[in-house]
Amino acid sequence: MANVDLPRMSDVCELSQHLAEGNSSSGDLVADCLARIARIDPVLNAFVAMNSGAQAEAVASDARRAAGKPLSPIDGIPVAIKDNLVVKGKPCTWGSRMFADFTPEHDELPIERLRALGAVILGKTNVPEFTLEGYCGNALHGVTRNPWDTQLTPGGSSGGSAAAVAAGLVPFALGTDGGGSIRRPAAYTGLVGLKPSIGRIPRQGGLPQLLLDFEVVGPLTRSARDARMIFDLLSGPHARDHRSSQFTDTPTKRVRPLNILYVEQFGDAPLDKGIAQSVGEAVDQLADLGHKVTRGALPFDLDAVTAFWPRIGQIGLAELLSAQPEMEHSAAGKYVEMARAGQSVSATEMHRGLEAVWTLRNAVGMAFETLDLIVTPSCAAMPWSAAEVYPDRIDGHPVGPRGHAVYTGWVNACGHPAISLPSAASADGLPIGFQMVAGFGREDLLLDVADQFEATQTWAHRLPQLTREHA
């Protein structure tokens, strides 16, 4: 690629500048990404389908730039798309044999916006079946591995997207986050993962929403400035998603220093000691930047929503089974069992659960009347074996399927924005991340602090050994 130090791995903003200055071309970028995918992805298994028209899209982008008519700052920049987002003419399997032959004839709204911006879609990335678990593997496409240690998982459910960006196979990717599915994979792979507020990036025309309105679309990037660029380009009201219409006013600026609450542990839920140390150091850095940091417990109760949480996916799968009875024979048995469990949920239990969600949303909103940010670890456990669905022990204590994920789901339930940023790596060099949560619609605040923190600890050009060996 002309005049660009690819082993250093440029972020989207830098690539955009190279394209604008004529130091490179979209054709160069796409060719380089495809070559790296050919060398590295057989080890990672991040991609499940490729776009055969990517090089032609790059040629069209270069022609627009030559004519002085680029569509946006990301015109011509390659992107990977999580395989639960609908892309016209490309497989959308949702990690399931049930959808193995599904090729949609339209773009989901965020993809439609990406196309209008001129981004080149390279391909689709792997997910766990129905994107309901925090690892990345399925019977249709196999297991995706973490580029920092290929024996480990990159997390999930946006694991394929995270692995692709972390390994330098693509400059950025889109994922979805219904319970931490962007933030935890970002933490496990050394990336920035942004979960916007409900409705900030409008959605329409996608797969069934199994997780109510909890699941949102967001970017996985190498830098905080990239996250801001992609968020700014994809957000904004659209008539096809009424939830997006509420974001019309300029947010009120907060007086610095910010009031930050750091919650290291949720009750007696175990936390890996290395994560605690790394995130604690990051919080100390936030204090060094001039912010007021208080350490304590969450100022609201999660018990009712935590109790309802397992039912949400079950209810969504029950509806899917009702609409598509072939699921009983084509989906993995555990998801069929979950669907059957969902069929037993009464209207009373469902209503009680929704009331718990509404109560939490009000309580969290009230907490942010006095707080600017809540900071927690992004994950309770370090990445575990790629062959396992979840770690069964954390810091020597037995945990269940969501033990590693205790810090993230409540943010989806309340609908607030959150971002995962890299903190200091573990003793053996594995990435660790911490989560910042802001008031509803305050992505600007998250990204301002992310920029400030990133300036003290640059991570955008760090690469796993696997990538350096195949550069």
Catalytic residues: 82, 157, 181
Distances (CA, A) of 66 to 12, 70, 118, 404, 431: 20, 8, 14, 49, 40
Q: Of 102, 135, 212, 125, which is closest to residue 175 (Cα–Cα)?
A: 125
Three-state SS annotation for 223-263:
CHHHHHHHHHHHCCCECCEHHHHHCCCCCCCCCCCCEEEEC
Distance, CA of 470 to CA of 363 (rounded, Å): 49
Contact of 150 with 383, CB cutoff 8 Å: no
d(CA 129, CA 81): 16
| Helices H / strands E in the chain, number of each | 15, 15
Token duo for residue 384: 């575990």
DSSP β-bridge partners for residue 81:
124, 174
Residue 51 to residue 363: CA distance in whole angstroms: 45
| Backbone dihedral angles phi then psi of residue 85, each to the nearest 5 degrees | -105, 135
d(CA 218, CA 232): 11
The most distant pair of C-alpha atoms in the chain lies apart, rounded to whole Å, by 63
